[in-house]
Structure 1
Amino acid sequence: MHAIETDARDRVVTTEAYAPYPVSPTPATWHLRRTEVPTPTGPVVVHHRPGPDPLLLLHGVAGSWSTWTPLLTAADGVGDRGLVLVDLPGWGSSPAPAHPFDLDDVAGSLTTVLEALGIATVDVLGHSMGAFVGMHLAVVAPLRVRSVALVSGTTVATAAAARHPVRALRTLPAFTLLRAGLSITGEAARPVLRALSRVGLLPLLAAPVFTHVRRLDRSVLDAFVQELRPTRFTDAARTAAGYDLGRWRGIACPVTAIAGRDDVFARVSDLEAVRELVPQLRTVLLDDCGHFAHVEHPDAVARELGLT
């Protein structure tokens, strides 16, 4: 096993029980109300509840609002705080716009959602692609964002891999091969994934993403299959390739990055790379954790973000 070098400023957390909570698609458990908000790019489905110091939770490319529910369980529903869990355009129950994924459009949709709910400012939690979206929201709407937490965020290494796919076969092979495969198969990949799930082979495909795929509750893999959107994935990768990460230097709010030591979609080196762009960054490295920190170790994530 190769040793992974970490910056001395990274807080390294030895985690506890692995993936202890299922994914739950029942919004009533957390007193969430489902609302469909008209936005300039089309309707966006939101599960939300009123309360002080609201949290805006943004899922990744194989997620929806429900993939945050293990974290909600770990954080006791996040107390009495307000919650806004968005199905980003083209994911979950939100229909896809007619045009490709665009960060400005997504940020505009989120601003419209917050305005519709009467929310002035939020703390943003973003997973994977949702972390990228959260950072962009902090760039274009800084008065709305009190803080950003990147949970297994795809940031610098992913953007570089999207720009240079041949080189990325060495630096970020899992992301690069998945992108290539989905680019070829398109939406036909979804029935294939469902078929693999029915015959019990899905863990083989999902194994690189999770540190201990065989320990996952079935609901986690079911959500992974249901929520992966191949076309939107490739669109998001294309957007990351063209994005100027230097824009993040203008972010003034507190930013926390939580990463898994075993993440194959990002690199531990991303923590230092993001810190070079955002000097106020606080970093947390989780042992025994892949690309879904909020599912694999929700108790640690909740604790490190001050949600418990």
Structure 2
Amino acid sequence: MGHLEVEDGRRIYFEHHAGARQPVVLVHGWGVTARSWDTVAPVLRADGHEVVLLDLRACGRSDKDFADVSIAAMGADVARLCEHLGLQRPVVNGWSLGGAVAVDAVARLGSTAGGLVLTGGATPRYTSASDWPHGGTPDDVEAVLAAAASDRATTFKGVAQAVCAVPVSSDLVDWMWGMFLEMGPRGDDSIRDLASLDQRKTIGTLEVPVLILHGRNDGFVAFSGAEAAVGLYPDARLVPFDASGHAPHLEERDAYLAELRTFLTSTGDQTGQ
């Protein structure tokens, strides 16, 4: 456990778990925390991977009063953390908004990155455009934020309830809800930035293997967008999860872990780990 200063004395929280196999950096989604990976990180650690988790700006145990909460700023944080820890050929796995952060981080790391995993990743676009008929609109995002401004607790309870398409326990919903309530108000501007972001040019430059793990019933990031994006990467594979919504690592965990492990084995082989 530690903190890394990234902006004018403000710090992000991270955990660095030792391991002899290829490093994996787990980047959470909007509003939640590193704890959202608690069904994945222990398995990777048991497999011998070096595992790094962090709380993004304004989330969890990171400082809440950052001036810049953009995707680019958070991508820079992830890249800086990889360099700070001396990670060798890390695979960066981003969930939801964390997928856009992971894309930005891998682009910054360049040839020093080992791979990219997108778990319901909100990239290359979260919202639709004239040439991208996938996703909602910036107005949809503003409507959620307006509701949160009026009643943050109830709004985020509804968001937590909508994450999964398969039946899950009320305890799991409350677990996610609790993480949302740890986000400071500056975190709202992170999803505002995501709503205007277009990473199509960026993903075309990524010279790493990419694994896209996406639920067909995702109510937040359209599956059709993942289908449209796969051909924009130089080297990518899409794995659909037929029963899942926005969290295949929670909804179809065993199948998700099998795909992730296979991918890590292949990228580890390429790096000699």
Band the TM-score falls in, shorter-chain normalisation: 0.7 to 0.9
CA distance in 1 between partners of 2:107 and 2:159 (Å): 35
- Pairing 1:182–2:144 present: yes
CA contact (8 A) 1:258 1:301 kept: yes
- Pairing 1:298–2:253 present: yes
Residue 41 of structure 2 aligns with an amino acid whose one-letter code is: L
Larger Rg computed on CA atoms: 1
The match for 2:122 among 148, 151, 154 is: 154
The match for 2:6 among 32, 35, 39 is: 39
Q: Hey, what does 1:131 align to over in structure 2?
A: 99
The match for 1:216 among 169, 173, 197 is: 169
CA contact (8 A) 1:63 1:92 kept: yes
Alignment of 1:1-308 (within 5 A): 34-40=1-7, 42-52=10-20, 53-73=22-42, 75=43, 77-160=45-128, 172=135, 179-193=141-155, 202=157, 206-213=160-167, 215-216=168-169, 218-227=171-180, 229=183, 231-306=186-261
Deviation at 1:177, TM superposition (A): 7.0
Structure 2: tracts of 5 or more residues without a match: 266-273
CA contact (8 A) 1:151 1:257 kept: yes
Q: Please give the root-mean-square deviation of Cα atoms over the aligned residues, in Å.
A: 2.9
Q: Hey, what does 2:268 align to over in structure 1?
A: none
CA 1:263–1:94 in structure 2 vs 1: closer, same or farther (change >3 Å)? same
CA contact (8 A) 1:172 1:264 kept: no
Deviation at 1:120, TM superposition (A): 3.7
**Which portions of structure 1, spanning 4 or more consecutive aligned residues, are displaced by more than 6 angstroms?**
none
**What secondary structure is seen at the aligned counterpart in 1 of 2:74?**
helix
What is the percent sequence identity of the aligned residues?
21
CA 1:219–1:249 in structure 2 vs 1: closer, same or farther (change >3 Å)? same
**What secondary structure is seen at the aligned counterpart in 2 of 1:183?**
helix
Considering Cα pairs closer than 8 Å and 6+ residues apart, tell me whether 1 or 2 has the greater RCO: 1
Deviation at 1:110, TM superposition (A): 1.9
CA 1:301–1:114 in structure 2 vs 1: closer, same or farther (change >3 Å)? same
Residue 59 of structure 1 aligns with an amino acid whose one-letter code is: H
CA contact (8 A) 1:255 1:281 kept: yes
CA contact (8 A) 2:39 2:250 kept: yes
CA distance in 2 between partners of 1:244 and 1:87 (Å): 22
Deviation at 1:126, TM superposition (A): 0.6
**What secondary structure is seen at the aligned counterpart in 2 of 1:124?**
strand
CA 1:121–1:235 in structure 2 vs 1: closer, same or farther (change >3 Å)? same
Number of equivalenced pairs: 259
CA 1:231–1:189 in structure 2 vs 1: closer, same or farther (change >3 Å)? farther
CA distance in 2 between partners of 1:138 and 1:112 (Å): 11
CA distance in 2 between partners of 1:91 and 1:187 (Å): 17
CA 1:300–1:104 in structure 2 vs 1: closer, same or farther (change >3 Å)? same
CA distance in 2 between partners of 1:260 and 1:244 (Å): 21
Q: Residues 93-145 of structure 1: CA distance to partner in whole angstroms, max 9, x if unpaired?
A: 11134324223322222233223323243111110011111111121221332
CA distance in 1 between partners of 2:118 and 2:56 (Å): 17
Q: Residues 156-205 of structure 1: CA distance to partner in whole angstroms, max 9, x if unpaired?
A: 45142xx68xxx9x9645x76762333324555434458xxxxxxx4x65
Residue 150 of structure 1 aligns with an amino acid whose one-letter code is: L
CA 1:138–1:51 in structure 2 vs 1: closer, same or farther (change >3 Å)? same
CA 1:189–1:177 in structure 2 vs 1: closer, same or farther (change >3 Å)? farther
TM-score, normalised to structure 1, is 0.74
CA distance in 1 between partners of 2:190 and 2:234 (Å): 29
**What secondary structure is seen at the aligned counterpart in 1 of 2:38?**
helix
CA distance in 1 between partners of 2:12 and 2:234 (Å): 33
Residue 128 of structure 1 aligns with an amino acid whose one-letter code is: S
